């Protein structure tokens, strides 16, 4: 089941879906993002992420998806294919512990915004996600008018 962490009132930056099967990675990232002002939805694998996007919340309210690649059930490549197909305007950032140049190139051609290799510094992760969320919010605002 997906877990939602909310940012402090008045400082909301956007909503990020964090998809990683390793709780010791997913939870600290989610807490860090919430402290930085983001609403965060957590999913332990691609299947859970897809369910979270298809549930009660409006999926277009997700401003960025941060996704691991190697996960059980629905892996990252399968989940990303679904995200790109069903929600092409939502940016996807990959964060993986397994560098694979060929996979990175393939995913970038499919529209993945960035491909990060673990371990990632707090500053690097926040910078990439801020740019991604900001870009999505600007595009979303342009289509709303």
Please determine, for residue 57, whether its predicted confidence score (pLDDT) is greater than 70. no
Number of alpha helices (DSSP H) and beta strands (DSSP E) in the chain: 5, 6
What is the pLDDT at residue 1?
58
What are the tens digits of pLDDT across the range 63-81? 999 999 999 989 999 999 9
pLDDT higher for 2 or 107?
107
User: Residue 106: which H helix or E strand, with range?
Assistant: helix 101-109
The pLDDT tens digits for 31-43 are 999 999 999 999 9
Which of residues 103 and 8 earns the better pLDDT score? 103
Task: Detail the DSSP E strand segments found in the chain.
Answer: 3-5, 14-19, 38-43, 64-67, 92-96, 114-117
What strands, in cross-sheet order, belong to the sheet with 92-96?
A: 3-5, 38-43, 14-19, 64-67, 92-96, 114-117
Tokens of 74: 């629905």
Q: What domains appear along the chain, each with residue ranges and CATH number?
A: 3-144 (3.40.50.2300)
pLDDT, mean over the chain: 88
Q: Report pTM.
A: 0.90
Task: Please tell me the distance from the alpha carbon of residue 110 to that of residue 121, in angstroms, as a whole number.
Answer: 25
pLDDT surpasses 80 at 124: yes
Asked whether the beta carbons of 103 and 132 are under 8 A apart, the reply is no
- Which tens digit of pLDDT belongs to each residue from 14-31? 999 999 999 999 999 999
Which tokens belong to 94? Answer: 């990959």
Phi then psi for residue 124, to 5 deg, are -60, -45
pLDDT of 3 reads: 65
Q: Is the pLDDT of residue 56 over 70?
A: no
């Amino acid at each position: 089941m997906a877990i939602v962490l909310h940012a402090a009132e008045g400082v909301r930056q956007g909503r990020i879906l964090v998809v990683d099967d390793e709780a010791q990675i997913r939870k600290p990232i989610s807490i860090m993002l919430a402290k930085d002002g983001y609403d965060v939805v957590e999913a332990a694998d691609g299947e859970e992420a897809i369910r979270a996007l298809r549930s009660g919340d409006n999926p277009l309210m997700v401003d960025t998806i941060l996704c691991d690649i190697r996960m059980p059930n629905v892996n990252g490549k399968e989940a990303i294919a679904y995200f790109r197909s069903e929600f092409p305007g939502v940016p996807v950032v990959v964060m993986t512990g397994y560098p694979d140049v060929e996979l990175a190139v393939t995913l970038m051609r499919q529209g993945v915004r960035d491909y990060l290799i673990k371990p990632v510094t707090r500053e690097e992760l926040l910078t990439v996600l801020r740019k991604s969320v900001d870009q999505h919010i600007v595009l979303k605002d342009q289509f709303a008018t």
